[in-house]
Structure formats: structure tokens, C-alpha cells
Amino acid sequence: MGVGMGTGTGTGTARPEMTATTTPAPVTASALDSPRSLFRFLVRELRPRPPFITTFNVLSIPIVLVGLVILAIRFTQGLGSVTNLNQEFPWGFWIGFDVVSGVALAGGAYVVTFVVYVLKVERYHPIVRVTVLNGFLAYAFYAGGLVLDLGKPWNIINPIIGNSFGFNSVLFLVAWHFLLYMVAEFIEFSPAIAEWMGARRLRRFLQSITIGTVIAGFTISTLHQAGLGALFLMAKSKIHPLWYTEFMPVLFFVSSIFAGLSMVIVEGTLSHRVLKDHMDAEHGAFDKLIFGLARGAALSMFAYYFFKALIFIHEHHWDLMGDFWGNWYLLEILGLTLVPCVMFAYGIRHRSLGVVRAAAILALVGVVLNRLNISIIAFNWFVPNHYYPSWQELWITAMIITCEIWVFRFVVTRMPVLRKAPDFD
Amino acid sequence: MESYSYVNIFETKGLENLLVISFLVMLVFLIKYIGGPAKKR
């Protein structure tokens, strides 16, 4: 058994504030040395750690427990027992928010890894692991939420195993890309797991394949971000003309860039307040990186806004202005795209963190609203009895987000995500 | 002699071309604006 594993602090789990009283033992052996050492390592690391009574725990445990009951009803009684889905609205909140919006918000991972590993902008290196972890968890939970929405969830494996591949379907591309991208993100994050387990040789191997994985992941990611938009191309007669365009794949891709960067800003700000005990000085200097991330967000938003304006003019949509849908469209385009873009630019120029953070939140709201407009709100907008999500659908979404935060907290409090691992510098 | 014909940019690609040109011009200004030195508040 490794020396580090017998110290009680773990090989890679020494927190900065703990180092003042307990010096982490050097890693001389790996948890992978023998099955017994691995078992003991996992038992110790998987054990919950205090404090147990926290505001988040008190709120999240009932959310998950009630959510499990709803899921049990959903899988025994069918989709109709807990959702408001019907033949006119077969895709509801779980697809519109969890999958279509959630995947856009996870776009920060491919942007940041591309900037760091391909463009070699090293100053963003400290946020790579946490961004990739967020991206991976978002895909695992939100895309995993897709299983809940399938009438026959066991058929989700069909596009993978070849039982009716469906080559002509965009869903075939999206299914394979989701799977491959999750594998790519896991490999990109896996050096942190190797460091956590003290596995030096494994970590060396995993680091050697990182650049190839990043390039593959980036390629796959750009394609399936656009592919999500392509899913809606066949619904021309159902989506309001202000939102339907043959350029939806391009818009989905461009919006995923600033959605992902905005998410990195918001998530980084939150985690640097909540998890500051688990950070070292290098990772704690997140504020210095925010303006660089905001620059990328501002430029991509600017391009996105002009794309939208160009499509609006090209499609001759002037006549669609003036009613509720016209005003709703303007709210999304002016209020939640142009305004945050200007706020980003102002915040960068005046070095105002508050303005940049507010812009990031507005941008996130704008992207989510855009995705919900296309998939739910402006979908079948002419139908008298429009779809509204049931409270159970909202509850399950809250449960998915809660579970993701649980796993995120588990990982960053144990693995070297927001700090460097001792002996692995 | 040919008579004068009014070209309505709302019915042609004119407006789209103007928009693209204005985008490129404004993009230069935006890059200069956000890349410039910080302004004191």
C-alpha cells in the first residue's frame, strides 16, 4: 500500500489549509499496486466527509428522494404519468432544457481545451481540468437525461450496437458524437484521476494521448453542437418562422461558444467562492482570466447577433414584427444577446468583474431561452393547447442538476482539479 | 433612352450586403475597443 494512502489525507487529497498542520506524505506507491490497496483506497475515498449538515445538503436530499419516487412512477407507469408530453409535443422540458440547452452550456470544455492545448495559451491551463470536468458531467447527466425521455429507454443502445443504425438520421450522428465526446472528455480528465491514485506510469501514458484526444474531442464537439440544431431542420412547418432557419446548425454552434464561455465565468465564480479551501494560489487567481474569457464571449456573441440580423433580413421577416412573437423574439435578440454583448465589451474595457459576470448570466439566460423557443415555446406555436412542463418534469431536472453538483463536489474535494497534486508538479 | 429605375434595397441583396459590410467595420472597432487599455472608472 502506498505511503500516502496510509496517512489519512490521501495521496492527492491534501487540502491547502490542511498542509499547515499535516504535511502530505510523498507518493511512493500507487493505489493500483494491488487489488487490496485499490480496495482500501476506494473505501477510504468514497466515505462521505463532514460537514454533513450544510444548506446544500439539506435542500438537495429531499429533491433527490422525491425525484427518485417520480422516476419510479415514470418507469413503471410510463411517460404520460409524470409528464405533459403528447403526440403534438413529443419533446418536452427534459429534451429542451436538459439536452438541447445543457449541451450548449457545456461548450466551454471544447473551447478552453482548444485554446490551451492547440493554441498553446498556457495562462488558461489552471481552469482546464475543472472546465473539462464540468463538460463531462454535463454530458453525462444532461444527455443521460435523454434516457428518461425515451418511451423505450433500452433502445438507446441501438444506434451504437448496430440494431437499426439509422444512418440517414441526424440523431445517429448526435448519438455517436455524444458517446465519443464523453469518452474524449473522460480521457482528457483522466490524468487527474491517475494523480489522485498516485499512478505515475498511467498518468504519463494518459498525458501523452491528451493532445490527440483534444483534437478529436474538438472536432466531434463542433459537429454535434451544430448537429443539435440540425435535429430541428425537419420541423420547418412546426417552428415559428422567426426561429426556424436552415442556418440553425451554424447558429447552434456559434451560440455554444459564448454559452460555454459564459458558463465557465459563472461556474468559476461560484466554485471559487464555495470551494476556495480546495484551491492553491495558481487556481485561485481566476479573476485574472475572466476578462480573457469575456473577450471570446463578446466576439462570438457579436458574430451571432449579426448572423441573426442577416437571417432576419434575408428571410424578409419584417411582417412578423408587432405581435407577441415579434416582441418575444426582440427580447431574445436585443435584450439577451445584444445587451450582454455590449455589457461584456464595457466590462472588459472598464475592468469591471461585476458587469462581466452579469453579462455572463444574461448570456446564459439568452441561450437557454433561444433553445427553449426552438424546442418548446415557439414549437407548434399555433396549437391551441400548448405544452407546459409538469411539476414532475421540473423536479426531475432539479434532481439531475443536484446530482451533478454532488458528483462535482465529490471529485473536486478529492482529486487535484483546483490545485496541483503534491509530487506531480 | 432608358428611364431611371429605383432599386429598393429591401427587395434586393443590398441591405444584406450593407449589413455584412457594417459588421466587418464594427468588428474592427469592437476588437480595438476590448483590446485597448483599461479605462479608469
Q: Which pLDDT belongs to residue A155?
A: 85
- What residues in B contact A348, CB-CB < 8 Å? 34
Distances, alpha carbon A54 to alpha carbons A61, A192, A243, A266, A407, in Å: 11, 27, 43, 22, 16
8 Å CB contact of B41 and A352: yes
pLDDT exceeds cutoff 60 at A234: yes
What is the pLDDT averaged over residues A233-252?
Answer: 94
Q: What Rg, from alpha-carbon coordinates, does chain A have?
A: 23
Residues 22-41 of B with CB under 8 A from A: 23, 26-27, 30-31, 33-36, 38-39, 41
Q: Which pLDDT belongs to residue A5?
A: 35
Helix A248-274, helix A128-138: angle, nearest 10: 120
Q: Which pLDDT belongs to residue B10?
A: 67
Q: Is A243 exposed, middle or buried (0-12, 13-18, 19+ CB in 10 A)?
A: buried
Q: Which pLDDT belongs to residue A288?
A: 82
8 Å CB contact of B33 and A349: yes
What is the pLDDT averaged over residues A165-174?
Answer: 83
Give the residue carrying C-alpha cell 464555495: A274
- What residues in B contact A288, CB-CB < 8 Å? none
Please give the mean pLDDT across all residues of chain A. 87
- DSSP state for residue B13 in the 8-state scheme: S
Residues 280-299 of A with CB under 8 A from B: 295, 298-299
Q: Which of A193, A275, A194, A260 is nearest to A222 (CA)?
A: A260
**Please, what CATH class does the domain formed by A64-412 belong to?**
mainly alpha
8 Å CB contact of A345 and B35: no
pLDDT exceeds cutoff 80 at A164: no
Residues 314-343 of A with CB under 8 A from B: 314, 318
8 Å CB contact of B39 and A350: yes
For the stretch A77-129, pLDDT in tens is 999 999 999 888 888 999 999 889 999 999 999 999 999 999 999 999 989 99
For the stretch B4-37, pLDDT in tens is 777 676 667 888 889 999 999 999 999 999 988 8
pLDDT exceeds cutoff 80 at A384: yes
- What residues in B contact A310, CB-CB < 8 Å? 16, 19-20, 23
Residue A295: pLDDT band by 50, 70, 90 thresholds? very high
| Domain definitions of chain A by residue range | 64-412
Number of neighbours of residue A380 by Cβ within 10 angstroms? 17
- Any chain B CB within 8 A of the CB of A310? yes
| Rounded distance between C-alpha atoms, residue A284 and residue A127, angstroms | 10
What is the pLDDT averaged over residues A155-159?
Answer: 84
Distances, alpha carbon A392 to alpha carbons A144, A389, A404, B20, in Å: 17, 8, 18, 46
Q: Is A405 exposed, middle or buried (0-12, 13-18, 19+ CB in 10 A)?
A: middle
Q: Which of A52, A49, A53, A12 is nearest to A30 (CA)?
A: A12
Of residues A136 and A151, which shows the higher confidence score? A136
Nearest CA in chain A to B9: A313
What is the pLDDT averaged over residues A188-207?
Answer: 91
| Rounded distance between C-alpha atoms, residue A371 and residue A94, angstroms | 12
| Rounded distance between C-alpha atoms, residue A343 and residue A400, angstroms | 31
8 Å CB contact of A313 and B15: yes
A98: left (phi over 0), alpha (psi -120 to 50) or beta: alpha
Looking at the structure of chain B, the number of domains it has is 1
pTM for this model (two decimals)? 0.87
For the stretch A47-63, pLDDT in tens is 888 888 888 889 999 99
Which of A16-25, A314-323, A406-415, B14-23 is predicted least confidently? A16-25
pLDDT exceeds cutoff 60 at A24: no
| Rounded distance between C-alpha atoms, residue A338 and residue A329, angstroms | 12
Q: Which pLDDT belongs to residue A366?
A: 96
Residue B40: pLDDT band by 50, 70, 90 thresholds? low
- What residues in B contact A298, CB-CB < 8 Å? 30, 34
- DSSP state for residue B32 in the 8-state scheme: H
Residue A15: pLDDT band by 50, 70, 90 thresholds? very low
Q: What percent of chain A has pLDDT over 90?
A: 61
Q: Which pLDDT belongs to residue A3?
A: 34
Residue B2: pLDDT band by 50, 70, 90 thresholds? low
* CA dihedral angle for residue A155, residue A158, residue A164, residue A170, rounded to 10 degrees: 100
| Rounded distance between C-alpha atoms, residue A93 and residue A41, angstroms | 40
Residue A23: pLDDT band by 50, 70, 90 thresholds? very low
- DSSP state for residue B12 in the 8-state scheme: S
For the stretch A57-89, pLDDT in tens is 899 999 999 999 999 999 999 999 999 998 888
Q: What Rg, from alpha-carbon coordinates, does chain B have?
A: 18
Distances, alpha carbon A296 to alpha carbons A111, A264, A348, in Å: 9, 12, 11
Give residue B25's domain range.
Answer: 1-41
Q: Which pLDDT belongs to residue B7?
A: 66
Q: Is the ipTM reported for this complex over the cut 0.85? A: no
Residue among A298, A309, A349 minimizing CB distance to B39: A349
- What residues in B contact A350, CB-CB < 8 Å? 38-39, 41
Of residues A315 and A262, which shows the higher confidence score? A262
